[in-house]
């Protein structure tokens, strides 16, 4: 089940007016349409100083027995569209990981068990919640600390299930080192779903509830 590891990239929400703001995003997560857990996001603060907390818990079962468990927690600080700070911890079926990042001068300093690197300029993570992600060519993976090259393109629209109702949504495809990730948003930019085909042809799916 290690094929799930790169499909849980975490992180935050949309552009807003310069006033205090708070929003909760609660996603149900399934694998081949079988529930395996949830991923919750809490976004607070004004547009130029967002704080984002996310927590994911997955438990994949086969014949009633747990065959894969995953826990991830991340806190992020944003300055506009730029990541200013990050602390993320992951338990990937017993394999622990930690990523820390902090803005220093004109760079974001990212630290993992493998070492520290300085990423210049305005860095974004896999912030599916932010329409600004659509213009990015590189994104920081909050689980691994890798700065991944990506291509993001519009893939048309279609209906998806949102809180039990069929809802028209736009699909944006993120192509990178691994299998593509399809992010579903409403016309106003709100993030409502995610699909990715993982190893073995299995479908990992997020739906807002």
CB atoms within 10 A of CB 27: 22
Q: Which residue has the higher pLDDT, 64 or 102?
A: 102
Domain membership flag for residue 197: no
Alpha helices in the chain (DSSP H): none
CA torsion, points 194, 134, 8, 54, in degrees to nearest 10?
Answer: -100
The count of structural domains within the chain is 1
pLDDT in tens, 181-204: 999 999 999 999 999 998 788 999
The two structure tokens encoding residue 192: 């409502």
**pLDDT range class, residue 20, cuts 50, 70, 90:** low
Residue 167 placed within a domain: no
The confidence score (pLDDT) of residue 178 equals 81
From the list 190, 159, 152, 200, the residue with the least C-alpha distance to 27 is 190
pLDDT at 17 over 50: no
How much is the pTM? Answer: 0.86
Q: Is residue 32 part of a domain?
A: yes
Residue 89 lies in a domain: yes
Over 90: is that where the pLDDT of 16 sits?
no
Share above pLDDT 90 across residues of the chain, in percent, rounded to a whole number: 81
Q: Is 172 domain-assigned?
A: no
Give domain status of residue 108, yes or no: yes
Residue ranges making up the domain that contains 23: 2-150
Sequence-distant contacts of 55-62: CB under 8 A, at least 24 apart: 56/8, 56/10, 56/29, 58/4, 58/8, 58/29, 60/1, 60/4, 60/31, 60/36, 61/36
The whole-number pLDDT of residue 18 equals 40
Q: Where residue 99 falls among pLDDT bands split at 50, 70, 90?
A: very high
Whether 82 is covered by a domain: the verdict is: yes
Q: pLDDT tens digits for 43-74?
A: 999 988 999 999 999 999 999 899 999 999 99
Question: Please, are residues 77 and 15 in contact by the beta-carbon 8 Å criterion?
Answer: no
In a domain, 130, yes or no: yes
Which H or E element spans position 14? Answer: none
């Amino acid at each position: 089940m290690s094929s799930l590891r790169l499909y849980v990239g975490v992180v935050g929400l949309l552009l807003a007016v310069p006033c205090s703001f708070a929003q909760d995003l609660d996603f149900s997560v399934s694998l081949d349409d079988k529930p395996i857990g949830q991923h919750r996001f809490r976004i607070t603060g004004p547009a130029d100083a967002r704080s984002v907390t996310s927590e994911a818990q997955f438990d994949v079962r086969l014949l009633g027995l747990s065959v894969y468990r995953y826990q991830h927690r991340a806190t992020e600080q944003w300055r506009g569209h730029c990541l200013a700070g990050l602390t993320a911890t992951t338990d990937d079926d017993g394999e622990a990981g930690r990523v820390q990042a902090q803005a220093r001068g004109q760079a974001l300093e990212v630290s993992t068990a493998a070492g520290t690197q300085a990423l210049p300029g305005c860095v974004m993570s896999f912030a599916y919640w932010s329409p600004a992600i659509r213009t990015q060519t590189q994104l920081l993976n909050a689980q691994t600390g890798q700065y991944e090259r990506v291509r993001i393109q519009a893939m048309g629209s279609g209906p998806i299930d949102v809180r039990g109702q069929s809802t028209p949504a736009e699909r944006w495809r993120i192509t990178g080192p691994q299998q593509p990730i399809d992010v579903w948003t409403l016309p106003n930019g709100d993030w409502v779903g995610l699909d990715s085909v993982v190893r073995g042809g299995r479908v990992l799916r997020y739906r807002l509830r």
